[in-house]
Structure 1
Amino acid sequence: MSQLSFDKADQLREFFFAMLESIPGGLLLADRQGQLLAANRQAGAMLGLAGVSIIGRSCWELLERALELEQSALEPLRRPGGRLLIEQEEGRDRGGPRYLLIARNELQSPFFDVGGFFLSLEDVTYPAMVEDHLHRRKRFAAIKELAVSLSQELRNPLGGLELYASMLERDLGDDPDYRRITGRMLAAIKTMNHLLDNVLTFAVQPRPEMKPLAVKPWLDKVLADLAPLGEATGVRFAARYGHRQKEICGDAAMLEQMMLNLGLNALESMPEGGEVELVTRSLPASRQSPPLLEIRWVDRGRGIAADQRDRIFDPFFTTKDGGKGLGLAIVHHIVESHRGFIRVDSSPGHGSVFKVFLPDNVTQE
């Protein structure tokens, strides 16, 4: 038996294409802009493109024409993890419509500037499979619609409450007791606004608008927002800045939301009070990774059991009474959408350390 060897680029390329053709379902491989890099025969057959040259074309244009869809219908596939179930009329010889499930999966490395995605195509025409997918799609569509509607409805009364509480704080500011009460009112309103942000982010999963962001002012603002929440539970927030970056590139609102989620997670893990530390440092480029900004949240709370650590970033998974299980799932989504990654070290009774690594993709002095 001959042994496979990948010493030459053409051998590796042949193996790669053989692997693509061996996959049972259809597969379209594209770069970050959606330009097709490779496709297998199964994908061509499913889309009715046998014998047509498709490499280098836009996968969105291709799907739009092959499936006779509007561009807006493809919107779910423009987001990481997106899925789309298509119903196609196949004629009487097939006995009814065909159902095609398209799912997007990201090709991304935290260490190299390599990225793109692939679309997997699966024929799910069997009634039991179709019914399951349809019910799931309708359920999540209803959740998304409800989340967006509730967020919009609650913003106005919360804005009014914040205005009145601010006016009350101004008029009663000389009395320390009243000032403490109004401060807690404002902190509670900010918490409710933040929870609405989490629900909306989970429902819509927006893509980040990447712009230069000053690191220290961003982190200072997060700590200032968390301070009054910590006062109510006896938790102090401290910072040790060791980073050299003046700026990174990212979406300011999403990154602020991510950091608030991590700060609140640390706060909630310490019901008896204590200190939470925010620590930063710069990691230089290496053969395995670009320059990185590392941000650590260090708490001394209850910690996380080993069998739960792999699940804490899953939506709706929570270890807290009354928790919704969205905070850390949104953290994971925001970090990944910024091409970063997150790690957690924890043990029950000894607290946790959440480490966020963001690419330093703004030139520094």
Structure 2
Amino acid sequence: MNVQSAENLTEILKTFNESTVKLRQAYDALQLKFGALNRQLEDTNKELSRRIAELSEVKEYLNSILQSVTNGVIAINVKGEITAFNKAAERITGLDAESVIQRAFSEVFATDFGASFQRRSGQMEHGQRYTSRDLKVKGRHPFPVRESNSFTRDGRGEITGAVKVFEDLSELRELEEQARRQDRLAALGQMAATVAHEIRNPLGGIEGFASLLARDFDADDPRSKLVTKIQEGARSLNRVVTELLVFTRPMKLDFKTIELPMLVNETLGFLSSDIKAANIRLQKRLGKGELKVTGDAEQLKRVLLNIMLNAVQAMPNGGTLKVGCRQGSLSPAARKMLGHCRNGSWAEVSIRDSGPGIEESEIPRIFNPFYTTKEKGTGLGLSVAAKIVDAHRGQILASNSPRGGALFVVSLPLEG
């Protein structure tokens, strides 16, 4: 190797060493920058985690408030899909939030929330005032509510959906109806007492004189039959007056523990001859378990006897009488109106006949006093029955069975 080659090699090594030093310096600088970026990323992640935690806390806090509100709250998006459904809404409607979230409001309720809030956008621009109307879950009876509807908006003011806030008015409506009923009963009671006094005195004289007159005629005398008609008419009128007094006077009930299936069986025993005479087939399903209620056995027997007798009379040419007894559960709205009981459970007695059924227009009035479709009916039998059941904090409902005939269901709170 000559001198020139040695110098070249030395220069190359020098350049290589310089490059290595520069590379080391660049690497060290890059490592420092990477460390700084890594620390910055860690700080950003910590800040992001903190904000996520804060947002989660805020979300939980807001959800806690939403679930604690006693009014029902339903929120929907611009597509009309339900996005929020609080516990009060569950209680009032009887629906589970999980079963309705992300479903269209119009699929769940008979009212199309989406279409209605678009049509009334002028009202809802700044929130709609509370209005009273009926809210109807599909496939169920409507119930009265007081509601307010408003739009929801994002930070830019764009509409993102709407929110409905409502309260159940079922209890208030029931109390109002009870007050009206009590006013009517008070007026009717005063009238009944006066009428009973004015009628019973001469009525007793008519029946007494008719009995004396009957002694003067032989059994085959045509006039004897006329006297008998007078006696029957007097007794019938006296029975109407008695039923009217029973209906209008406050009830004195003797509450005791009652085995409901046994009471139903005893009541059917009173009608055994009528059932056989009318060629009616009796089907009983009284259950195997105990169904104990607290009540007045004689008064409840009177209720069942009245309904069963009506069922028998609805089938003069024979038919089928189905009597059932079981543990049931009322709707949340009905439980709220009637009061609380053990586990929300109720004893149900169902009485179904295969007769012509009830005219749909008659069902809302069937428990009204003096309303009857029978030629010789007083219109007080079912009214008294409803009053007795009401005094037991129960419920009596009349409807038409899908298979034909009338269906009556008496619900009483289980003992405990």
Q: Shorter-chain TM-score category?
A: 0.3 to 0.5
Question: Which protein has the bigger helix share?
Answer: 2
Larger Rg: 2
